[in-house]
Amino acid sequence: MADRPKRILLIVGGGIAAYKSCELVRLIRKGGGEVTCVLTEGGAKFVTPMTLAALSEKPVHTTLWDLKNEAEMGHIQLSREADLVVVCPATADLLAKMAAGVADDLATTLLLATDKPVLAVPAMNVRMWQHAATRRNVARLRGDGVTVMEPDEGPMACGEFGPGRLPEPEVVHAAIMRFVSADPLEGQPDFADDRHRGLHGRHVLVTAGPTHEPIDPVRYIANRSSGKQGFAIAAAAAEAGARVTLVAGPVHLDTPPGVDRVDVESAREMLAAVEAALPADVAIMVAAVADWRAADAAGQKIKKDGSGTVPPLALAENPDILATLARSKQRPALLVGFAAETENVIDHATAKRARKGADWIVANDVSGDVMGGDANSVHIVTASGSESWPAMAKHKVARALVDRIAKDIAK
Ligand code: CTP
* Distance from residue 364's CA to the centre of ligand 1 (Å): 12
Q: Is the CB of 321 under 6 A from ligand 1?
A: yes
104 C-beta neighbours (distance < 10 Å), count: 9
What single-letter DSSP state applies at residue 368? S
37 is an active site residue? no
Residue nearest to atom 16 of ligand 1 (CA): 339
Which of helix, strand or coil describes residue 357? coil
Q: Is the CB of 320 under 6 A from ligand 1?
A: yes
Q: Which atom of ligand 1 is nearest to the CA of 339?
A: 20
pLDDT average per 10 residues of sequence, the chain (411 residues): 81 96 96 95 96 96 72 72 95 98 94 94 94 94 90 77 87 86 57 60 95 97 94 92 94 88 97 97 98 95 91 96 98 96 93 97 81 79 92 89 92 76
Residue nearest to atom 9 of ligand 1 (CA): 322
DSSP line for 82-132: SSEEEEEEE-HHHHHHHHHT---SHHHHHHHH--S-EEEEE---HHHHHSH
216-249 residue pLDDT tens: 999 999 999 999 999 999 999 988 888 899 999 9
Q: Is the CB of 287 under 6 A from ligand 1?
A: yes
167-215 residue pLDDT tens: 889 889 988 988 887 655 455 555 544 445 688 889 999 999 999 999 9
Q: Which residues pair with 360 in a beta bridge?
A: 336
Q: Which atom of ligand 1 is nearest to the CA of 324?
A: 7
Give the active site residue among 22, 37, 88, 158.
158
pTM: 0.65
142-164 residue pLDDT tens: 989 899 998 987 777 777 787 89
Domains annotated for the chain, with CATH where assigned, are: 7-193 (3.40.50.1950), 203-409 (3.40.50.10300)
Q: Is the CB of 346 under 6 A from ligand 1?
A: no
